[in-house]
Structure 1
Amino acid sequence: MSDSDLIKLYSARILGLAAEIPHLGRLPAPQGTARRRSPLCGSTVTVDVVVKDGRVTDFAQDVKACALGQASAAVLGGIVIGRSLAELQAARGALVAMLKAGGPVPPAPFDGYEVLLPARDYKNRHASILLALEAVCDAIEAAQAAA
Structure 2
Amino acid sequence: MSDADLIKLYSGRILELAADMPATDPLTAPDAVVRKRSPLCGSTVTVSLTCEDGRITGYSQDVKACALGQASASVSGKEMIGLGLDEVRHGRDQLRAMLKQDGPVPDAPFAGFEVLTPARDYGNRHASILLALDATVEALESVGKALHDAT
Query: TM-score, structure 2 length as denominator?
Result: 0.95
Q: CA deviation at 1:78?
A: 0.8
Q: Aligned pair 1:87/2:87, yes or no?
A: yes
Distance in 1 of aligned mates of 2:76 and 2:88 = 9
Amino acid at match of 1:16: E
Structure 1 ranges of 4+ moved more than 6 A: none
Q: Which moved further from structure 2: 4-13 or 21-30?
A: 21-30
CA-to-aligned-CA distance 1:19-58 (integer Å, 9 cap, x gap): 0110014311100111100000000000001010111000
Is the aligned partner of 1:136 residue 2:125? no
Cα distance in 1 for residues equivalent to 2:60 and 2:2: 36
Matching residue's letter, 2:130 = L
The equivalent residue for 1:125 is: 125
Alpha-carbon distance in 2 for matches of 1:105, 1:44: 24
Equivalent residue, structure 1, for 2:97: 97
Unpaired segments of 5 or more residues in structure 2?
Answer: none
RMSD between superposed Cα atoms in Å: 0.8
* Aligned-pair CA distance for 1:145: 2.2
How far 1:115 moved relative to its partner? Answer: 0.4
Flag the structure with more relative contact order, 1 or 2, with Cα contacts below 8 A and sequence separation at least 6.
1
**How far off is 1:109 after superposition?**
1.1
Aligned residue for 2:73?
73
Task: State the percentage of identical aligned residues.
Answer: 62
Preserved CA contact (<8 Å) 1:31 1:50 = yes
Structure 1: runs of 5 or more not aligned: none
In structure 2, how many angstroms separate the alpha carbons of the residues matched to 1:122 and 1:140? 29
Q: C-alpha separation between the residues in 2 aligned to 1:61 and 1:14?
A: 18
**Matched letter for residue 127 of structure 2:** A
The amino acid of 1:54's aligned partner reads: G
CA distance in 2, matches of 1:25, 1:131: 19
Structure 1 residues 25 and 40: CA distance shift in structure 2, 3 A: farther
Q: Could you tell me how far 1:146 is from its partner in structure 2? A: 2.4
Q: Using the TM superposition, give the Cα deviation of residue 73 of structure 1 relative to its aligned residue in structure 2, in angstroms.
A: 0.2
Partner Cα separation in structure 2 for residue 92 and residue 142 of structure 1? 17
Are 1:35 and 1:45, in contact at CA under 8 Å, matched by a contact in 2? yes
Alignment of 1:1-147 (within 5 A): 1-147=1-147
Give the number of aligned pairs: 147
